[in-house]
Amino acid sequence: MNGVYMNILESIVNKLKSGQRVVVFTGAGVSAESGIPTFRDKLDGLWNRFSAEDLDCADGFKASPQLVWEWYAWRRKMIVDAKPNLAHHAIALMETLVPEFTLITQNVDGLHQRAGSTKVIELHGNIHRSRCFDEDIAIDKWAETDEVPPPCPHCGGMLRPDVVWFGEGLSGDTYGKAKEAIRNCTMLFSIGTSSQIYPAAVFPYEAAHRGAMVVQINPNPTDLDQVTSFILRGKAGECVNGCRLS
């Protein structure tokens, strides 16, 4: 690791130790080193005829509910088989060292919680939960059946994954909590997100506008580069590996 990079890491860690109110804001890139493809990656094998935009939307589900349910079952299995990586673990450790800490994630894979994070706002839901498509209520149990998707035990309508699809709004409560953390933070880490999906994409800009230090970890340039105080240009797991937080 070169000297300039070490100096950057040292300044960030020193700043962290001086009682900052920290938000970590993550996207698909933080799970890439766990083997979960990002939204910009080409879909694998069976699914390569589709794009995430075709499958992750209410219109796609209404047109082909079985296909979309199976796509989510495939992703769920991949996620269950994956393990949190060094970046997930470093973020979980940071939570124990920083008194005021919030993790805001756009990811639905639950890998942050599996690494030990507890102060997590899941902006886009969680792939391991389901809800009724018609009634919009959470459903945890349903009878085994050959129907795909399984029917809702209340109304007989279709179950869907409890995630926010393209074109859908965020839950007001979740969004409100995330906005409050952004308003209060003095330091924000944006890790593994292309910062292109609104309204989440504005969070780092809002934090920067209010005077927070913004640190970005991403192997590729993003629009956020303009307002970032420090850019660590690399993979999340590799970047945090050079950083001793304790």
- Contact residues for ligand OAD, defined by CB under 6 A: 27-29, 32-33, 38-40, 56, 106, 124, 164, 166, 192-194, 196-197, 217-220, 222, 235-236
CB of 160 to ligand OAD, least distance (A): 13
Q: How far is the CB of 144 from ligand OAD (least distance, A)?
A: 28
Closer CB to ligand OAD, residue 53 or residue 135?
53
Q: What is the DSSP string of 17-29?
A: HTT-EEEEEE-GG
For the bound state, the minimum distance from the C-beta of residue 222 to ligand OAD, rounded and expressed in Å, comes to 5
- Six token digits for residue 65: 């509910």
Q: Which is nearer to ligand OAD, 98 or 217 (CB)?
A: 217
Cβ-contact 65, 143 below 8 angstroms:
no
Nearest to 203 by CA among 130, 137, 135, 106: 106
Structure tokens, 59? 């219109």
Which neighbouring-strand residues pair with 163? Answer: 125
Residue nearest to ligand OAD (CB): 29
| CA distance to 38, 93, 167, 231, 233, per residue, from 224 (Å) | 18, 25, 23, 10, 13
Judged by CB, which is closer to ligand OAD: 134, or 238?
Answer: 238
124 has catalytic annotation: yes
Query: Which residues participate in catalysis according to the annotation?
Result: 124
